[in-house]
Structure 1
Amino acid sequence: MPMAGQVRPAPPPYGPTSLVRRRALGDIPDVPRPQDLSTQDARTLSETLFGRLAELDEGTPEYACVRNTLVELNLSLVRFAARRFRNRAEPAQDIFQVGTIGLIKSINRFDVSRGVDFASFALPTITGEMKRFFRDTSWAVQVPRRLQELRLRLAGACDALGQELGRPPTTAELAAHLRITEAEVAEGERASNAYTARSLDLTDDDSGATAVMRTLGREDPSFDVIECLDSLKPLITALTDRERTILSLRFVDELTQAEIGDRVGLSQMHVSRLLAQITNRLRTGLLTEG
């Protein structure tokens, strides 16, 4: 231990954890606080990290390091999903932790080669984990843990026997399947009556039920845009190089037809005809089933 007045020696610049992180990231710049990045920067870095994750062996410290960074980068998705359930009785921290499990599952299953946006892929899984948590914990009155577990076992047995028998199972069949008494089956069914059948899609709003109707009635145009863009990809790929260039100059660079003509060496009228042909072909492709 250093004596008073002595300067404690500085720690080495890289500890074992830092060395693993440097090996894990490779040429990717390290971001000390990923959660402070903007949404666009986080999305761009996530794409790069998913590519890096595919290069690493699962189970290695480097793989875990990159995956943990991806979790930190995308925790905003969990917060976004959790806001839908702010009015639930369950602690917000528990909801957030369950949503984080869904985020990790999404990262483990995400295939970057499919060209799907990660947020669109992950949000259903995150929300699904939260709803599953509510299904297991939403009770109108306090019920012993034993009866909560019995209710879940009965629900599973009803589904299994219903498919096998082609009809709802009897109390005796449930008891034989679960190896319990018929009295215990009846007790579990009574416990099910204490289960809250509240909508899992209820959002936090002062207007109560009106909030549900407003949520169900509102259409998000972003989903339609994403679907159309995904459907357009193979159609645009089928265009010639010149047609793709003209399309990009018009709708990406937002040039006029005359400016496009100067770029590609065509008249403004020729460009106009080509654009009409291209857009009609794309429109027909989008509207054609299959």
Structure 2
Amino acid sequence: MPKTISRRRIFKWTASCLAGVSVAAIQGCKGSSGSLFSFMSGEESDLFDAIPTKRYGAKWLTGGTASLQSSSYPKPFLELAANSLCELTPKLTEGPCYSTSPVRQDISGGQDGIPVRLYFQVVDIDCQPLSNVDVDIWHCDANGVYSGDGMRSEEFCSGGNEEYVKHKWFRGIQPTNEQGTVYFETCFPGWYPGRAVHIHMTVTKNGRSYTTQVSFDDALVKSITTQAPLYSERGTPDTSNDSDRIFPDGDDKTHEMETMQLDDGSIVAWKTLVVSV
């Protein structure tokens, strides 16, 4: 039986392989099944000089997705070895704030916040990419409030605010491409009592769905909620990833996204989702 490969171990191995290596030499850094690191196609395809570290500066870009520039930025996803056994992403509750989402790439609805370029790669248990499956994501705004109608707990999610109920801010659906990847533009979520900062998502194929949630590194959340305009006004969350009642306990960090703060103060975040649909 092939040994299970965890995302965190792959990043650790790849970081040691790429550290100090020039872009030209990266193509020679391979495992037995080929390159472990590849990038989405697009106008720009810049490579990381190294795997991002968990260090965040005090400069944070504001103004929402409208402030994103078309300059070069990394577009990452992991290409897992074809003969490896992938570890299923834990199924997590849909929560009470689900509402139908529009099909769109920019899910911000013009709202303010730190802009985030968000990537997901969807693969099956054999690490094969799942193309043409719908990825539906939703999260709260910088103030910890959800928008949308028909939520199971409208008072809790939107505070009964009619303006929030009639909009679909921070909700969207995108189909995966041939590599199983999707791309969204959004703003960094805020927090509300009892939960760590998180994003909800459901992957759907032929009427079958797989629902989970992802989180952000606590150090990133602390940097933003203590230093970034708009977010620092509310202070730091009352719940960390470890103390969150929804996410797994202990050292299980399978729900955390990989993140990179860019020079302009925006964020690139990404995660491979292993699902069964």
Question: Which has more strand, going by share of residues?
Answer: 2
Larger radius of gyration: 1
Q: Report 1 or 2 for greater relative contact order, CA contacts < 8 Å, sequence distance ≥ 6.
A: 2
Question: Which bracket does the TM-score occupy, shorter chain normalised?
Answer: under 0.3
When normalised by structure 1's length, the TM-score is 0.21
More helix by share: 1
